Amino acid sequence: MKDFELFSGFENAPDDIIDDIEKMCAPMSECEERRIFKRIQQKSSSTKVIFETDNADEVRGVDIYMKPKWYKPVMAAVAAIAVIGGIAGSMTLMKNMNKTSPYSNADSSDERPLANTDKLNIANTEKLNFDNAIINIPSEPEVYQLTFDRIEWTKSELTKACLDCTNRFMQSLYGTSVPVTEKDLDYYYLDSIEGDRGEKIERNFYSLSLNREDLIAWYQHHACFYNAGKSDTDLGINKNISYINDADEETIKKAETVIEKLSTDFKEFFAISDYKMVPYAGNYENGCQYYVFGVEYNGILLDNNYYGSLDANKLSTNMAPNVAEAIVDSEGKIIYVTSYYNWTVTKDKTYDKIISAEEACKIVDDEISDHVNFDISRLDLIYRIDEVRDEKEKVLSWSGTPCYKFTVNQSGIAAHPRLSFFVNAVTGEFSSFSIVR
């Protein structure tokens, strides 16, 4: 069966044809028109995620299906619209095909349902199962378009922060030890970016590091995070983690104790007032507890996964996570830590209304191919973090865009065992990625 690009033919369609078709169709409400416009636009976009199946019960792979140009007569396209969307009565919409989509402008005053999750009950759809999903959507959240930028340090300030933090860490690990001094630190700069190498820290500064037999520590300025740990720490524990949910009261209590300790012992990198850490996931192995802490801004989680493209020809997704980690040994000592990204935050825009979680579910259901069913592991309202790059592809800053994120941890697809579906909470735009970590 062939797919069509629906818009190009209607742009030049004779008025008499459109008028004749309109007479056959019932009038539509503005709400219906807006919903159908979005549906048509999604169906006729240049790419669509197609999950290949042998039958309705088995998912075997994922491809990006490129739709061909439409060259059929206008009436054939009308029939295609009717089949795809079941939207008899949409000819009023056709007359306005050249208008901007009501979902494409973040400042649109069109009515959209406000996300109200006081009694959120996400129903299963034909393709999405929420029976075991964690639903993390704040009630009536304040939602913004954000810009994240690197925290401003001087070389002296950063050096002091790293020394103070690292020496407290060593004291907690070993009781007494030879303190770290500035002579133990190495500073690294990027030759590919112009900038000062003196007291002022600019984009060309990459990292500050310490490497001793008893401890490894560094601060990476590219993304603004601090990392330290015992040299022999087994980082393999960060595999096979599971989510921490509200029922895990004991785990939550222990995790909150660790959060409090991080906020004091590592205050230079964990006491940034714009963010709040929350227990998110973890794993217990070989006597050690591994914690992943979600990072919230004003009650909304920042995205915390690394992604790969579903398109084999595309290497980079240009997206970033923001998450904190810690490993606690059997004696209750923190032996490894990674701070969240110490970004500054700018509110570029405030959104009074966003689409509802239920509407986001409908969009995902429409965008993925038929004959598949995914068990959703999580549904979160998050800030998706996209890199803002210069003409040389160097990262200038990061944008924070409110999105609904559907996480699938067991897709049944060998090439992409974990998937993430995003729906922009303002525009309704859909995108999908393979989760790398």
Count of Cβ atoms closer than 10 Å to residue 159 Cβ: 17
List of the chain residues with pLDDT < 50: 1-14, 17-18, 21, 23-24, 29-31, 33-47, 53-119
Domain ranges of the chain: 1-102, 151-300+327-342
Q: What is residue 313's predicted lDDT score, i.e. its pLDDT? A: 72
Instruction: Indicate the residue type of 52.
Output: E
For residues 380, 383, 389, 395, the Cα torsion angle rounded to the nearest 10 degrees is -90
Question: How confident is the model over 110-140, as pLDDT tens digits?
Answer: 333 334 333 467 999 999 999 999 999 998 8
Phi (first) and psi of residue 303, to 5 degrees: -60, 145
Cα–Cα distance measured from residue 406 to residue 124, given in angstroms and rounded to the nearest whole number: 13
Contact 404, 135 (CB under 8 A): no
Phi (first) and psi of residue 237, to 5 degrees: -70, -15
Q: What is residue 262's predicted lDDT score, i.e. its pLDDT? A: 95
Q: What is residue 85's predicted lDDT score, i.e. its pLDDT? A: 40
Whole-number CA gyration radius for the chain:
25
- How does DSSP assign 327-364, residue by residue? EE-TTS-EEEEEPPP-EEEEEEEEES----HHHHHHHH
Cα–Cα distance measured from residue 239 to residue 303, given in angstroms and rounded to the nearest whole number: 19
Count of Cβ atoms closer than 10 Å to residue 141 Cβ: 19
Q: What is residue 150's predicted lDDT score, i.e. its pLDDT? A: 92
Q: What is residue 69's predicted lDDT score, i.e. its pLDDT? A: 30
